[in-house]
Amino acid sequence: MAYKRPDGKRVTRFAPSPTGFMHVGNLRTALYEYLVAKSDDGTFVLRIEDTDQERLVEGAVDVIYQTMKTAGLQHDEGPDLGGEYGPYVQSERLEMYRPYAEQLVREGKAYYCFCSKERLAEVSEQIPGGGYDRHCRDLPQEEIDRLLQEGVPYVIRQKMPIEGSTAFSDLVFGEITVENKELSDQILIKTDGYPTYNFANVIDDHTMGVTHVVRGCEYLSSTPKYNLLYEAFGWEIPQYIHLPLIMGKNEDGSVSKLSKRHGATGFEDLVAAGYLPEAIINYIALLGWAPQDNREIFTLDELSKVFDISGISKSPAVFDYDKLNWFNAEYLRAMTPEQFAQTAAPYFEQAFGKDHGFDLQVLTAMLQQRVTTLNQIPETIGFLAQLPEYDKELFINKKSKTDLTNVPVMLDAVIELVEGMTDWTHDGIHDALIALAQRLEVKNGTIMWPARIAAAGQAVTPGGAVEIFELLGREETLRRLKLGRKKLEEA
C-alpha cells in the first residue's frame, strides 16, 4: 500500500527535470498541481528529477526555484525546505531504486537483460514500430549467473503481461484501456545503474505518499506502464489527472502544439516581455480549466479556494497572446498609482536613464490606462528623452481642422503664450491653452494638435499636449515648439 500521510489529505508533486527554461506547459502543470493540493488544504511537493544526466543544464535548478518563487507557487516540501519524505532530488535517492528492482527480479516480475546495443538496434528494426523481442526474459538461471559473474553489462526489465489489456481511470479523460501486446518490457534500471524515468517516478511517488499525479496528456499512453509497476509491488495506485495540450495559433489561422515559433513560451521570457507574473498565472490557470461562473480575474489565493478538478477540460487550450495582453492590462489598471509607478520604475529608467527628473505621478497618469505590457513603456515615452525626427505632414489633421496654412499661426501663438507663462502646472497649462483657443476663435484641437506634434514629434502619444508640456517643463517645451515651427519653414 502507499505510504499514507497522517493527515489523509491530497499530496501532489511538481517534478521538473533541470533541462532549461520553464515552458508555459510546465508552469501550468506546476500551477494545477499546486491548486489540486491547496484546494484540499493538502501538501505540494517540489522534487527535482535529475537522473537523465545527459540532458542536465547548468543553472536550470536555480531557474526552477526562481520561477516558482516569482509565480507565487510556494511548495511545502522540497530540496531547499526539506521534509519527512526526502531527499527531494532523485540523484540523492539512487540507493533506493535498485533494491526495488531486485525485489521484482526475485519475485519473477522482472529480469536481467544482457542484450548489447547492437543487438537491440538490429531487433528494433525487425519489429514493426520498434521494440524488444524479450530474448532474455526466460534465460536459464545458470546462464544468468554466468553472465553476471563475467560482468556482462545488463539492464533490469519488467515482465509485462503479453495477453489481455490494462485499463486505468483518469479524472479528466475517464476510463482508458490499452492492449498489453502494445507494451514492451520496460527497462527499470539502466546499465549505468541509474533508474529510468518511469521507474524512479513510481518509486518516488509511492514513497512520498503522492495521492494525485498531474501531468500532460502526452503521458496518457505511458500510464499503463506506471500502473503495472504499482500492481507488481501491490501498491495503491494514485489518482491521475492528465491535462489537455496547449496549442498556439499559426499565421494561417490553424493551431499546432505551442512552441517558440508562436512567440515567448517560457515564463522568464513572458516576464521579460513585460507581463506581470500574477497576470501570467491567472491566464494560464484558465488554459484548460474553467470556473463554475464566468469570472476571469483571480488571485492565486482565490484560485486555491475555487479550483475544482471537474472544471478541467479534455479539449486542447489555445494560448492567445491577445487574451494575455487583456489580462495584463487589467492587472496594470487595477494597481494603485503608487504600485504602478514602482513596478514601472525600471522601464522609466530604461527610457530616460537613472536620474531623469520626470514627474512619476504625471507619467503614471499618462501610461497606466494605456499600456498593456510594461515593455511598451520605453518606446511609448521615449520621445520625452529625445525628440524624434519627424515630418511636417504630421501637423495636418482633418478632425482638428489643422493644415500647413493655419498651423504656423497656431504655433506662433502658443510660443508667445508659453514665453509669458508663470503657472506651469497641469491646470495652469490646460486653462491657458483653452483660453488661447477661445481668443483665436478656433476649436481646442486646432491649438492642441500642433502643440502636441511639435512637443512630441509623433502622432501617437500616451497623453495630450497638456501632459507632455507638464513633463517636459517650460524651457524644453519652448525649445521644441520653436523646432516644430522651424520644421514648417523647411521645404
SS3 state at 135: coil
Buried b (16+ CB within 10 A) or exposed e, 89-101: bbeebeeebeebb
Q: Where are the alpha helices (DSSP H) in 214-265?
A: 223-233
Whether 260 sits among the annotated catalytic residues: the reply is: yes
Number of Cβ within 10 Å of residue 409's Cβ equals 13
Helical pair 426-440 and 444-456, crossing angle rounded to 10 deg: 130
Residue 42 CB-half CA count within 13 A: 22
> Side chain identity at 251, as an amino acid letter?
E
- Backbone angles phi and psi of 89, in degrees to 5: -120, 125
Residue 305 CB-half CA count within 13 A: 5
Which listed residue (9, 69, 181, 260) is catalytic? 260
Planar angle of CA 381, 383, 386, nearest 5 degrees: 130
Q: What separation in angstroms does the CA of 50 have from each of 12, 26, 209? A: 19, 16, 20
> Side chain identity at 242, as an amino acid letter?
H
- Backbone angles phi and psi of 370, in degrees to 5: -115, -40
Buried b (16+ CB within 10 A) or exposed e, 355-365: eeebebebbbb
Q: What share of the chain is helix, strand, coil (3-state, %, to 5)?
A: 50, 15, 40
Residues forming the active site: 260
